[in-house]
Structure 1
Amino acid sequence: MSKIGRKPIDLAGAKVTIKNNTVEYQGKVKSGTHILPEQLKAYVEADKLFIQKNDSGKHELSDREVNTLWGLHRALISNEIKGSQAPFERKLEINGLGFKAALAGQKITLTLGYTHKIDFELPQDVTLEIDKTGQKLTFKSSDKELVGFVTSQIRSFRPPEPYKGTGIKFADETITRKAGKTKSS
């Protein structure tokens, strides 16, 4: 039995309707659908959504594979319903002399110490807030996977280095610093 799959999903004000294997949800920010595989079924009870194994049909998957599908789809539906109520937020910090970001429309221009500036086009569903120094970036989206993907792509332009600590890092990330070369006597 899947430990994640059997946990109920709190709807917290979102409206959910279930038709066959399609879960339709509507929240304050976003609405959408999620299609469950034939091995799973969903039902709503007391303002909570439950996902269960569907034992009615024969399928070629093993019990272990069905359990992994169960946990995966429960987590995906949970993230979609949470994102429909309030957007997910991810913060980045830029450290370094002269390192900064600027936003023009849906395009970010990053100055990261290279000979050229880096332009990055934001997807439609992602919004960005930059503080006045240009070094603290806050990304928001109702899609958790998309926000994580965009922030990891931007971080990859200049990952933090361990000697000076310069580069782009997540706000909750800690950089283990290394000692530089010392003069021997």
Structure 2
Amino acid sequence: MSRIGKKPVELPSGVSASVSGQTVEVTGPKGTQTFRATDDVTITVADNVISVTPRGTSKRALQQWGMSRTIVANMVFGVQQTFKKELEIQGVGYRAAVQGETLKLNLGYSHDVIFDIPKGITVTTPKPTEIIVEGHDLQQVGQVAANIRDWRRPEPYKGKGIRYKGEYIFAKEGKKK
């Protein structure tokens, strides 16, 4: 049984939801998001509460139950507030700057990395060594942050690279004479 799936998602004031078939549409002050659920779950809206129930007891139905409820809860949160991921850059000469709709990264390569910022995502650089990714879709915010991090992952010897804020990098010991 899914402990997450059992909990109903309450709609705060200013947020409305509608269900047509397997498609859920949530509208709020920051915009509209839609989600198409699989046929393994049933989604209903009643009295400002969205509830998700499984259609059967198969393993797949129970997996989809908790996942669908979590996606709907993230949509409700996303239409009223923003999700945020913070990245740190460590390394001599490594820096980032936002130029219009692109993020320019100097990461020790022979060329600058130009990263196009997708629509619906806001990237800011308060310092040259900090990147903040914000948006209303949790999945998209996480994916953009992961794509930026993939340009130069933190290496285990000196810790140089792009890391999530607060991420611990296990440092390896170098060569000994």
Question: How does the TM-score come out when normalised to structure 1?
Answer: 0.86
Match of 2:137 among 136, 143, 152: 143
Identify the range of structure 1 (32-41 vs 87-96) with the bigger mean alpha-carbon deviation.
32-41
Corresponding residue number in structure 2 for 1:65: 60
Deviation at 1:136, TM superposition (A): 0.6
Identify the range of structure 1 (166-175 vs 28-37) with the bigger mean alpha-carbon deviation.
28-37
Corresponding residue number in structure 2 for 1:59: none
CA–CA distance in structure 2, aligned partners of residues 146 and 89 of structure 1: 11
The answer as to 2:17 corresponding to 1:23 is no
Runs of 4+, deviation exceeding 6 Å = none
CA–CA distance in structure 2, aligned partners of residues 36 and 162 of structure 1: 40
The answer as to 2:69 corresponding to 1:74 is yes
Q: 1:36 to 1:115 in 2, by over 3 A?
A: closer
Deviation at 1:35, TM superposition (A): 2.8
CA–CA distance in structure 2, aligned partners of residues 178 and 23 of structure 1: 48
For 1:11-34, what per-residue CA distance to the aligned partner results, in whole angstroms no more than 9, with x for missing partners? 223211233433221112121332
- Stretches of structure 2 that go unaligned for 5 or more consecutive residues are none
Deviation at 1:76, TM superposition (A): 1.5
CA contact 2:55–2:61 (8 Å) conserved in 1: no
Please tell me the residue identity of whatever aligns with 1:9. Answer: V
Q: In structure 2, the residue corresponding to 1:4 is in which secondary structure? A: helix
Corresponding residue number in structure 1 for 2:168: 174
Corresponding residue number in structure 2 for 1:96: 91
CA–CA distance in structure 1, aligned partners of residues 25 and 139 of structure 2: 19
Please tell me the residue identity of whatever aligns with 2:97. Answer: A
- Stretches of structure 1 that go unaligned for 5 or more consecutive residues are 56-61
For 1:119-153, what per-residue CA distance to the aligned partner results, in whole angstroms no more than 9, with x for missing partners? 11110111011023x11110001111111111111
Corresponding residue number in structure 1 for 2:3: 3
Q: In structure 2, the residue corresponding to 1:24 is in which secondary structure? A: strand
Aligned pair count reads 176
Q: In structure 2, the residue corresponding to 1:139 is in which secondary structure? A: strand
RMSD: 1.8
State the percentage of identical aligned residues: 33
Deviation at 1:49, TM superposition (A): 1.5
Please tell me the residue identity of whatever aligns with 2:8. Answer: P
CA–CA distance in structure 1, aligned partners of residues 165 and 58 of structure 2: 40
Identify the range of structure 1 (46-55 vs 145-154) with the bigger mean alpha-carbon deviation.
46-55
Q: In structure 2, the residue corresponding to 1:169 is in which secondary structure? A: strand
Alignment of 1:150-161 (within 5 A): 150-161=144-155
CA–CA distance in structure 1, aligned partners of residues 174 and 38 of structure 2: 54
Deviation at 1:175, TM superposition (A): 0.9
CA–CA distance in structure 1, aligned partners of residues 134 and 124 of structure 2: 8
Corresponding residue number in structure 2 for 1:58: none
Deviation at 1:45, TM superposition (A): 4.3
Deviation at 1:112, TM superposition (A): 0.6
Bigger Rg over Cα: 1
